[in-house]
Structure 1
Amino acid sequence: MAKLHSSTGTELISGAAIEGFDTSDREVTGLLLADGRRLPADVVGVGIGAAPNIEWLEGSGVNLCDGLPGDSMGRTNVPGIVAVGDCAAWFEGGLCRHRRVEQWTGALERAALAVQAKLKLATRRTPTSLPSTVRAGPPWQYLA
């Protein structure tokens, strides 16, 4: 993404803290960075990240980490309980770790696999594709 934006003349500033916003008539006109620089802006997009809301499950017996860890079908450590959605951290065989997928493709494919797991229609499968925001070439191999 950085290369694409640089090729069109966009300056990419990484690791800068935003101190505040310049506004006029309830519209953002610029940014004030913590290092004192002021940058004009027509549009400002803010990505703040996401934290899974799993506190309500503390003490339930379900393992918790950065979400609800499950196997490649969403099965948790508690028999009969599967995890699906933004809080589910399924095991990704190609990455050899658990990972949350906060994207609509994950919600579609993983829900279908979790239902199969609950109905005992399948023993072990992984999602057939990556979220469209991180789709990549040969290093990302998933089994159908």
Structure 2
Amino acid sequence: MNTTTHNTSVIPVIGRVLLAAIFIFSGIGKIMAPGATIGYMEAMGMPLASVGLVIAIAVELVGGLMLAVGFKTRLVALGLALFSIVTGLVFHHAIGDQNQLIHLLKNLAMAGGLLQVVAFGAGAYSLESAAAGTTSRQLA
């Protein structure tokens, strides 16, 4: 794809929304069952699990929504990629358990997709491109 031409593909927005969905739903799930989440965090040895819960909800909901609408997309995608790697390693490190291995690999795969967003930007249908008044590919 030529980076000097206008890119009006809907593919980046679909990708952003699909990546964001898991964070948004996970954040909502934590709000709906805070006790279960705190219990899991404590079982994994996390100190101050209540604080961790609030941070996780904020990262997942705010970050997920910002990613979906394409606002500060590269920065948010980088933050969510790091969050995915750290949480995968902290909470899904028991790779002898196939379920935990799958969760770890899922987190790493999400980080990979998010790093693609970091590399290539939000795309045409985003708040960033609307603010710039263009549908050209964001390079900065």
Larger radius of gyration: 1
Scaled to the shorter chain, the TM-score interval is under 0.3
**Normalized against structure 2, the TM-score is what?**
0.26
User: By percentage of residues, which structure has more strand?
Assistant: 1
User: By percentage of residues, which structure has more helix?
Assistant: 2
